[in-house]
Structure 1
């Protein structure tokens, strides 16, 4: 990629292996279906969805968290490779990984933003995996740069997370500051976190959310019964109506530690996979989702690949939803 060679890693076939199947049948597994492509080769190709990695621990390190999330892109690839496919008529590629070097988080985020802009500008739906939640700043910047000259350019961020990640930048940005940075730097952005845990956020962060008119869903309301799901849909609807695009970001520490032990800050008070699948389905039905990412998987803290398998199944679910509900061109 132009000017990104120092931080760009090509996709590697060794992460895409799996069970053999009858060669007389069509492709049965992810590793058989996905294509590997350098991001510079994505121009003028008929590609629908691209998986891109963000290998960075620096934001978590600066936020005094436990490092290891930089290893997650390739671990997710390995788990995803073995899943059976149930989507059709979509070309999906792995375009490699943006890698943080020399503790230079800021350059990594800018490089990642350029990659996201390139994909979206080529009509490709990005699914980004890995690293700390500082991925969100670079990801949003890439989305913004790709649509800022369009008539429709209002973007809402839907964040599934235990944390607001609204910390002010005191010296350098980190994994706890991305949405504060976004709200300060970009105009007309809607930010709606789902799964906020009181025990994981200080009073200051609740006050910052209030000062920035950030509405949110507390974790106790993230139940799968129809009453709670419908209540959340009702709160999401004005945001959906107001905005042209939805950027979905999923922090794995928003899940209960029963489902996601492999994160820097696990908690038993998080939501379930079934909950997030229900809300994701609703969001994709709007045909406004422009991009997604999954952050904060830490393979070094995982138990029997529980969290990695969940992250891979989230990617698979997002792909199936996207194939049914492509971004509206109206």
Structure 2
């Protein structure tokens, strides 16, 4: 593993204690907070004796956002999430969670960073560790999916359904270089090489955040989606959307959930490159995650686009941390 990563023009830094600080609790009682419970590991030294259920990995890169003419700053997202997560109380006593550190972009070489990230995701899956990735630009979705695909290539069950909570399709064709708006089009291109089709459902799509061409691409590839106005926290709306998701869930072996924080209303997530007041609220997403995790098919998750430079009162970082905490608590170990 170390050799593979060292050949790429990307930087990898293992989990660091300095990013996990918080208040102390009585040493005579069991751990109370994330910063006390988290294990710090190096992906290069991972082996079959490293008994971990969930692995946090940071994608400290915003080169894809810069290429997409967005506002850079998401490279600092992983550290900001850890800062907020460290201080949360723990309610997952039976699960072993480790921080595997960050992969970072070097010399604007987005492609190498994505490849390094893909290798790490693949290794975590190979070791039966559930990845929760924190970013970082949404370009990491391409690396994440390819890492899953590589890890499952020899498995009897290998089909992956993608569920993306996002204001954007991120289906832009690559014109010059890949960026944070192209990951799912890149996945389509990779699948087409072997005659496969993408199983992709986008939740929270905003019409004014996507061109007609992107809607046409979605139609061509039979991509299902829910418009943001459909994403309300009412029981009726949630049940209707869950019914829409059932065919994808039934037709795939595993689910990869990716959450772009710009899909939330800017009232809850101001710290993103492209905020919008018309996004969904947290209660809707947490209800949907509960449903999806209960399928026992979710193989990995990521949370993208946190930009601490433009966050307000750390609200977006707090939301991202709460998402990681919720996924950790609700995660079901799946058989691969």
Give the TM-score, by structure 1 length.
0.98
Aligned to 2:327: 318
Q: Which runs of 5+ in 2 are unaligned?
A: none
CA distance in 2, matches of 1:328, 1:221: 33
Whether the aligned pair in 2 keeps the contact of 1:132 and 1:296 (CA below 8 Å) is: yes
Aligned to 2:168: 163
1:280-291 matched pairs, under 5 angstroms: 280-291=289-300
Instruction: Say which of 94, 103, 122 aligns to 1:98.
Output: 103
Asked if 1:277 is matched to 2:255, the reply is no
1:110-129 matched pairs, under 5 angstroms: 110-129=115-134
Aligned to 2:217: 208
Instruction: Say which of 135, 143, 149 aligns to 1:144.
Output: 149
* Structure 1 residues 212-233: Cα deviation after superposition (integer angstroms, max 9, x where no partner): 1111000000001111001100
Q: Which runs of 5+ in 1 are unaligned?
A: none
Runs of 4+ residues over 3 Å off in structure 1? none
CA distance in 2, matches of 1:20, 1:134: 37
1:1-330 matched pairs, under 5 angstroms: 1-5=2-6, 6-44=10-48, 45-186=50-191, 187-322=196-331, 325-328=332-335
CA distance in 2, matches of 1:284, 1:328: 14
CA distance in 2, matches of 1:99, 1:142: 17
CA distance in 1, matches of 2:155, 2:222: 26
Give the TM-score, by structure 2 length.
0.96
CA distance in 2, matches of 1:2, 1:33: 30
Aligned residues: 327
